[in-house]
Structure 1
Amino acid sequence: MPDIIQLLPEYLANQIAAGEVVQRPASVVKELLENAVDAGATSVQLIVKEAGKQLVQIVDNGSGMSPTDARMSLERHATSKIRSTEDLFRIRTLGFRGEALASIAAVAQVEIRTKQRGQETGTLLLVEGSQVSSQAPTACPDGTSIAVKNLFFNVPARRNFLKSNAVEMRHILDEFQHVALANPQIAFSLYQNDLEVFSLPAGKLSQRIVALLGNNYKEQLAGCEEVTPFITVKGYIGKPESAKKSRGDQFFFVNNRFIRSAYLNHAVLAAYEGLLPKDTHPFYVLFLELDPKTIDINVHPTKTEIKFEDEKTVYAVVRAAVRQALGLHSLTPSLDFEGDVNFAPIRPLRTSASGAGGELPAPTRHVEFNPDALASSVSAAALRQAGKSRSADAYERQPPSKPTEQAKRDLEAFYRELGQPVRPEGEPAAVTPPTPPAAAPAPTEAAPAPLPELPFLHPTPPTPTPAQALTQASGGSHSPRATQVLTRYVLLPVKSGLMLIDQEAARERILYEQYAAGQTRGAVHSQALLFPRPLTFSPSDFAVLQELTQPLHLLGFRFAEFGPLTIAVEAVPADLPAQGEKELLESLIEQFRSGSAPLRVDRREALARALARRVAQATSQPRLPDVELSALVDKLFACQVPNYTPDGRPTVVLLDGQQLAEFFRKPGT
């Protein structure tokens, strides 16, 4: 039997390696930026065209390469950073694997121009599909320029799996952010289709954060630093009021390498406990310095996930460092021992003794007044004057004395003129405004008629559904009056028992079906803003927003680009509360980025669900009038699927008579 095991050809082995190293244009950006940083560059330029599909070029002023090194850099497992096994356990560089350029050259057309300092000429290499087609001397500045053209030109299947330009550009921006934040001492610039996106001068970390993520953070940064023999934590955190609906602006760096760690993120959130609004995420850029021997950075091909030798200690130090930073910058609540925080002083109504007082404020409609209480401290003459002009002079308090009958009559006339109820002498104070005695019905008169019942709509779906069952359970064409319970639920008596409705979940279902129907028609009803409202986003959020422009237009948003990373919002969905556009868009961006939908649904469906939930939460009211409660019930049962929210949570619970009887059954029977 012949031998069947053979060595793979070099070009095929490189293509297989490229499957791990080069997943999309952003993978090329990451590898080349890290190599530029390792080369000691002080200025790095990134140029992309067509979101990296046509061109990714990195130009740096680093140490450059000799002609031999330039040729060797294209070989697999060739590196200048590892010489022995011990080097694997003290790695502090970024691009150390020695396979990045070889893998990139296997699936693209690569042009390398490089020159060492002090040399008269540099080297030009042209590579296509792992094959070096040309190597010659050339005139070029110090440093290295690597241009990667037509990515996946020889692997069309891989190219077809690339996403839209907006999606791929978002990933490129993420990688650019990570390297630029980790190295504020290096100047970075980014050009997309010949337009400058970023020009970041070298400076301090705080300056880099503001230049990269926006001026909104200028007043929101709090320094964070904790030094221990085991680990050092440095960086910046955001004040609680700067928390956003999206979690994009959260960065961890271990030994200057960007990582993702849900474990460390939990440590930061634990430090913010009790300080953040619901469903918001804090900003942080934190750098951890550890002995490389205590971490393993080879647990993931992209090196964005690492393992710690002592995770619990790292967690505790990070949490303590953030908590301390919050306290030092007076961001946590503190006790005031100087003043009495439990009682506020009562300020009596006083004016000068000359009687030149201010106008008395009009009493509110829900408060009743006792003539005995005021007649003893205000003169009858002043009250008579007040009854004519609805203003009175306030005098200094006199010792209490029994009011005269004339003073009480004058006071009663004064408040009757204002339309206020007057409590007779000796009657105890009531919490709610009682009906004035003059308007009270005589004992022989008939009681006032009850409020008319509101009609209850009962749609009949074409096929039996849970909605039909619930409608039949209510019985009849009239529904009893809905009652609100615990400011969240609607209690409705029906023929078979009691129906309990979660009003926020019901509103979510109603809004979702409105949005879904609007998308089918081509647009949802919008409300135009009086003036366009400019909103600025971080680069990554803005890239996501560009992807979602068309689906958001179908949901009722109208906006246009208004400058770098800025849009001008012209109209919003009709049900959206005022001044909530930024938070809602951030929450939609976060929903899209995290992909937290339990099932894979298309983009328009996911946005309709997310918008319905966010608007339902934002417009939730603790107390609704009876008319609105009935209207909510009517709209809910007019929906196609009224008994569930779009993500499957129940909106209605039906308790029949037997279930109610079980609540009152004697235990053990």
Structure 2
Amino acid sequence: MSEQEPASRIRVLDPATINQIAAGEVIERPASVVKELVENAIDAGAGSVTIELTSIRDSIATIRVTDDGCGMSDADARLAFVPHATSKISTISDLHRIHTLGFRGEALATIAAVSRVTLVTKSVGSGLVAGTRIVVEGGRVRETSGTGCPDGTSILVEDLFFNTPARKKFQKSKNTELAHIHDICEGICLSHPEIAFRLVHNGSEHLITDSTGRPLDAIARLYGSTVAAELVPVELILPFIEVRGFVSRPSLSRKDRARMLVSVNQRYITSAGINDAIKAGYGTLLPKDRFPVAFISLIIDTGLVDVNVHPTKKQIRLSQEKEIFEAVRDAVREALFSHDLIPSIEVPGPVERLATDPPHAAPSGYPVSDNRQPGMVAESTHAGTITTDQRLRQTELPLTPRPTAVISSLLPRMEVIGEFGGIYILARTPDGELLIIDQHAAHERILYEQVSGPSGAVRPSQELISPVVLHRTPKEAAIIRDLLPALAKEGFVLEEFGGDSFLVRAVPVILGRVEESPVIDEIISDLVSEEASQAVSNRERIVRIVACRGAIKAGTVCSREQCQRIVDQLRMTQNPFTCPHGRPTLIRFTRHELDARFLRV
């Protein structure tokens, strides 16, 4: 008897199952529905788009998107729910020159596969009184009829995920889903300032923009005029890319990237690489754990952009990624340094009792001692003056000079009039403004630019009288071994000393005379503990730490001459506004602000 061949275990899935699987890739949550429908409205040439939401029992119940775009004929409306039916591409070559937000013909089909959808549409210029109404439930057409309606399209989505209980169960609370919808709508609104958008929830308007075509107007409507006032315009046009938008002054930053919004060819996307380029444009203007507010629009040759990477189309792939990164970074950098970045102090209400004001910490993080006496420039002891002079002169290396016009545009001339608490230098400008300079942060900036010259150069070293032995953990020792070549170029002479120990024979001249073992140990510990980043090289980390450790410390009382030397050298730096870690070096009081504090105005 012949053996019977076993039945095939591989089956072709039925269309309904296929559509539900596809929908799971494209439609993750209510915000996905909003995104797909709004993008379809934009592709239809809409001048205004309204998103209406209702919620019941802590979940989104209905989503309706209405537009005044071109609408659809009866024949097109019937095809709109067929998978992979689209008016936007016809051949595979069209994928390389996509100018629309949608192109796969999946949006309506996938939404309808997991919900109940009602489409009402009428083609602009058709001359017909009635449009088309189609009701689809779980991918099956339940009703097709004529109906009276205005030109354009309205799509109502109800009972999302009614036939996929597992997906429905994992939906978040109403407020969480609303937050995701807000994020999507904000990104799309800023990518299309020429379109008027309205977002309504349970009859209450949550978001509204006008179709002015001016991005700054949309920003002000979404985030307020205070945020808009803190932004500087960005514009850079190159043969392969146009970079436009707005970025915040360093005084306005966040602890997350939530306000870094990017569009490519008017498509709102998420891109860690472009976000990194924006942050890199700030250099040391921001601390590493702070992020700017940024709204950047890139126009790139469609041949350099692949949007067919992810089902949601929120992620894209760029060719010439390095050149695009550099263009965005340079555009942000040029925008920032062409504007006044000295922070001013907001004028608060009247000060009722000065004695009750709590003590403040210095911006650099050093505490202010309560027993220091405020006043004008103090006369230091002879020994103290010599020590400070040595500290300043040892680190007084020549800076790369900049044109006088550039110096004047970044920072005015300053005349030192006093110091406060061994931490702050008080200076006045020719315009009568009072500047308060953090002497440690300012000196740190000076040293940073002195030692961050050409990367190929080897920094001068000074030998220690007695070499210092460092004992590290195996993990720390491995990090130090990786850093040895970079440390050597910056003036550190270290050699392995058996096991996980190292012998330090010399340190950079910029540090001055450093002989104490704890000080050297702290410098190396800083390097080991500071988290490495792709955007910051090992050399950059070393230079920042050396500059910080080499700068005069808070509590060092400087003479008038020493203070003047610091502020004069600060003016010569490329970026006098922040220390290498992004903290401000100086703040400004105008005469008007001081008069307001004393109720003179």
- Where does 1:4-15 land on structure 2 (aligned, <5 Å)? 5-15=10-20
Selected match of 2:81 from 61, 67, 74 = 74
Please give the secondary structure, in 1, of the residue aligned with 2:314: coil
Selected match of 1:215 from 204, 225, 235 = 225
Residue 342 of structure 2 corresponds to residue 335 of structure 1 = no
Selected match of 1:30 from 15, 32, 35 = 35
Deviation at 1:277, TM superposition (A): 4.4
Deviation at 1:8, TM superposition (A): 2.2
Residue 155 of structure 2 corresponds to residue 83 of structure 1 = no
Selected match of 2:130 from 89, 102, 121 = 121
Deviation at 1:244, TM superposition (A): 2.3
Instruction: Report if aligned partners of 1:326, 1:332 keep a CA contact under 8 Å in 2.
Output: no
CA shift in 2, pair 1:261/1:332, >3 Å:
farther
Corresponding residue number in structure 2 for 1:158: 167
Residue 307 of structure 2 corresponds to residue 300 of structure 1 = no
Residue 288 of structure 2 corresponds to residue 283 of structure 1 = no
More off after superposition, 231-240 vs 298-307: 298-307
- Where does 1:615-654 land on structure 2 (aligned, <5 Å)? none
Identity percentage of aligned residues = 43
Quote the Cα distance in structure 1 between the aligned partners of 2:411 and 2:61: 67
Quote the Cα distance in structure 2 between the aligned partners of 1:248 and 1:41: 28
Please give the secondary structure, in 2, of the residue aligned with 1:321: helix
Instruction: Report if aligned partners of 2:59, 2:173 keep a CA contact under 8 Å in 1.
Output: no
* 4+ residue segments displaced more than 6 Å: 337-340
Corresponding residue number in structure 1 for 2:236: 226
Residue 200 of structure 2 corresponds to residue 187 of structure 1 = no
Deviation at 1:40, TM superposition (A): 0.3
Residue 44 of structure 2 corresponds to residue 39 of structure 1 = yes
Please give the secondary structure, in 2, of the residue aligned with 1:141: coil
Instruction: Report if aligned partners of 1:240, 1:275 keep a CA contact under 8 Å in 2.
Output: yes
Corresponding residue number in structure 2 for 1:310: 320
Amino acid at match of 1:16: I
Corresponding residue number in structure 2 for 1:257: 267
Deviation at 1:63, TM superposition (A): 0.4
Quote the Cα distance in structure 2 between the aligned partners of 1:145 and 1:338: 53
Corresponding residue number in structure 2 for 1:394: none
Residue 23 of structure 2 corresponds to residue 18 of structure 1 = yes
Instruction: Show structure 1 runs of 5+ residues with no match.
Output: 347-363, 365-497, 503-621, 624-669
1:313-335: CA deviation from partner (whole Å, max 9, x where unpaired): 10111111111111222338963
Deviation at 1:78, TM superposition (A): 0.7
CA shift in 2, pair 1:340/1:222, >3 Å:
closer
- Where does 1:288-437 land on structure 2 (aligned, <5 Å)? 288-331=298-341, 335-336=407-408, 344=416
CA shift in 2, pair 1:112/1:342, >3 Å:
closer
Deviation at 1:337, TM superposition (A): 9.3
Selected match of 1:107 from 114, 130, 133 = 114
Please give the secondary structure, in 2, of the residue aligned with 1:268: helix
Instruction: Report if aligned partners of 2:65, 2:155 keep a CA contact under 8 Å in 1.
Output: yes
CA shift in 2, pair 1:337/1:129, >3 Å:
closer
Quote the Cα distance in structure 2 between the aligned partners of 1:130 and 1:207: 41
1:617-647: CA deviation from partner (whole Å, max 9, x where unpaired): xxxxx99xxxxxxxxxxxxxxxxxxxxxxxx
Please give the secondary structure, in 1, of the residue aligned with 2:102: coil
Quote the Cα distance in structure 2 between the aligned partners of 1:210 and 1:247: 19
Corresponding residue number in structure 2 for 1:512: none
- Where does 1:40-59 land on structure 2 (aligned, <5 Å)? 40-50=45-55, 53-59=60-66
Instruction: Report if aligned partners of 2:340, 2:410 keep a CA contact under 8 Å in 1.
Output: no
Instruction: Show structure 2 runs of 5+ residues with no match.
Output: 344-405, 422-517, 523-553, 556-601
Deviation at 1:16, TM superposition (A): 0.9
Instruction: Report if aligned partners of 1:122, 1:139 keep a CA contact under 8 Å in 2.
Output: yes
Deviation at 1:125, TM superposition (A): 0.6
CA shift in 2, pair 1:200/1:45, >3 Å:
same
Deviation at 1:7, TM superposition (A): 3.2
Amino acid at match of 2:141: V
Corresponding residue number in structure 1 for 2:471: none
Deviation at 1:5, TM superposition (A): 4.5
Q: TM-score, normalised by structure 2?
A: 0.56
Residue 185 of structure 2 corresponds to residue 176 of structure 1 = yes
Please give the secondary structure, in 1, of the residue aligned with 2:88: coil
Selected match of 2:278 from 264, 268, 293 = 268
Amino acid at match of 1:196: E
Quote the Cα distance in structure 2 between the aligned partners of 1:308 and 1:233: 15
Quote the Cα distance in structure 1 between the aligned partners of 2:65 and 2:138: 19
Residue 153 of structure 2 corresponds to residue 144 of structure 1 = yes
- Work out which structure has the larger RCO, using CA pairs closer than 8 Å and 6 or more positions apart in sequence: 2
CA shift in 2, pair 1:175/1:52, >3 Å:
farther
CA shift in 2, pair 1:336/1:194, >3 Å:
same
Deviation at 1:343, TM superposition (A): 5.5
Deviation at 1:259, TM superposition (A): 1.7
Residue 240 of structure 2 corresponds to residue 240 of structure 1 = no
Deviation at 1:342, TM superposition (A): 7.2
Corresponding residue number in structure 1 for 2:100: 93
Quote the Cα distance in structure 1 between the aligned partners of 2:186 and 2:41: 15
Instruction: Report if aligned partners of 1:34, 1:94 keep a CA contact under 8 Å in 2.
Output: yes
Amino acid at match of 1:186: I
1:187-237: CA deviation from partner (whole Å, max 9, x where unpaired): 100111111112211111100011012222231121111111111111111
Quote the Cα distance in structure 1 between the aligned partners of 2:316 and 2:102: 16
Instruction: Report if aligned partners of 1:232, 1:288 keep a CA contact under 8 Å in 2.
Output: yes
Corresponding residue number in structure 2 for 1:421: none
CA shift in 2, pair 1:339/1:198, >3 Å:
closer
Instruction: Report if aligned partners of 1:25, 1:52 keep a CA contact under 8 Å in 2.
Output: no
Instruction: Report if aligned partners of 1:26, 1:52 keep a CA contact under 8 Å in 2.
Output: no
Deviation at 1:135, TM superposition (A): 0.3
Bigger Rg over Cα: 1
Give the paired residue count: 352
CA shift in 2, pair 1:26/1:341, >3 Å:
same
Instruction: Report if aligned partners of 2:133, 2:146 keep a CA contact under 8 Å in 1.
Output: yes
CA shift in 2, pair 1:52/1:29, >3 Å:
farther
CA shift in 2, pair 1:142/1:335, >3 Å:
same
- Where does 1:444-593 land on structure 2 (aligned, <5 Å)? none
Q: Provide the alpha-carbon RMSD of the alignment.
A: 2.6
CA shift in 2, pair 1:343/1:305, >3 Å:
same
1:399-424: CA deviation from partner (whole Å, max 9, x where unpaired): xxxxxxxxxxxxxxxxxxxxxxxxxx
